[in-house]
Amino acid sequence: MRRDWPDIWGGLVLAALGAAALGWTLVHYDLGSLRRMGPGFFPATLGALLAVLGLVVALPAWRRTGASVPVHPLAALAVLASVVIFGLGLSRLGLVAATALSVLIATLPAPFAGWGWRIALTVIVPALTVVIFSFGLQMTLPLWPRLP
């Protein structure tokens, strides 16, 4: 039997998160009293609740069949890397270079061969970005790499 793995894993991860939040709260924050609820009261309650709900999601799923879910680790890696690189690069590389780099990385996992469209995008998107955000919206963004 193919079990309902998404619900099992999802439920367990949430339960673990809830338990972690509960533990961290109990160690670090004061629960207080009813009159003066401390900063720990809410997160502790919510952590416990999430732990229970996670189990309620996960356990029945064990006895149930579920559909398989296609996972794309490469796509996720490239997209997230593109976002991170844009974030880290913006202030140092400037808008143009950060955008170009980020676009190039984002296009890597797309299932289309050839470099033509990729290179075209690394030119078009930075140009669009500069026009819309820097000139149009007047956001103060460094355009070019900052020399040390």
Partner 1 sequence: MTTWEGLLYGIGFALQPGILIYCVLGVVLGSFVGVLPGIGAMAAISLLLPVTYYITAEAALIMLAGVYYGAQYGGAVASILMRLPGTPQSAVTALDGYPMARSGRAGVALFAAMASSFAGSILGIAVLVLLAGWLTRAATAFGAADYAAMMILGLVAASTIGTERVAKSFAMVTLGLLLGCVGTDVNSGVQRFTFGQTELLDGINLVALAMGLFGVAEVIGNVRDPDRQAVAERIGLRAMMPGRDDVRRMGWPTLRGGALGSFFGALPGTGSTLSSFLSYAMERRVAKRPERFGHGAVEGVAGPESANNAAAITAFVPTLTLGIPGDPIMALMLGALVIHGIQPGPLMLEARPEMFWGLVASFGIGNLLLLILNLPLIGIWVAILRIPFRWLYPAILVFVCLGVYSVRGLTFDIVAVAVIGLAGYLLALARFSPALLLLGFVLGPLIETNLRRALLISRGDPMVFLERPIAVGFVLASAALLIASLWQAFRRHTGPDRPRTT
Q: Does the footprint of partner 1 cover residue 2 (CB under 8 A)?
A: no
Min separation Cβ 146 and partner 1, Å: 13
Q: Does the footprint of partner 1 cover residue 103 (CB under 8 A)?
A: yes
Kindly identify the residues of this chain, within the stretch 58-87, that bind partner 1 according to CB under 8 A: 60, 64, 66-67, 69, 71-72, 74-76, 78-84, 86-87
Whole-angstrom distance, CA of residue 51 vs CA of residue 23? 11
Min separation Cβ 3 and partner 1, Å: 13
Min separation Cβ 144 and partner 1, Å: 17
Q: Does the footprint of partner 1 cover residue 129 (CB under 8 A)?
A: yes
Strands in 7-141 per DSSP E: none
The token duo for 127 is: 């140009």
Among the listed residues 3, 16, 23, 42, the single contact to partner 1 using CB under 8 A? 42
Whole-angstrom distance, CA of residue 15 vs CA of residue 49? 9
Among the listed residues 3, 23, 30, 144, the single contact to partner 1 using CB under 8 A? 30
Whole-angstrom distance, CA of residue 27 vs CA of residue 144? 47
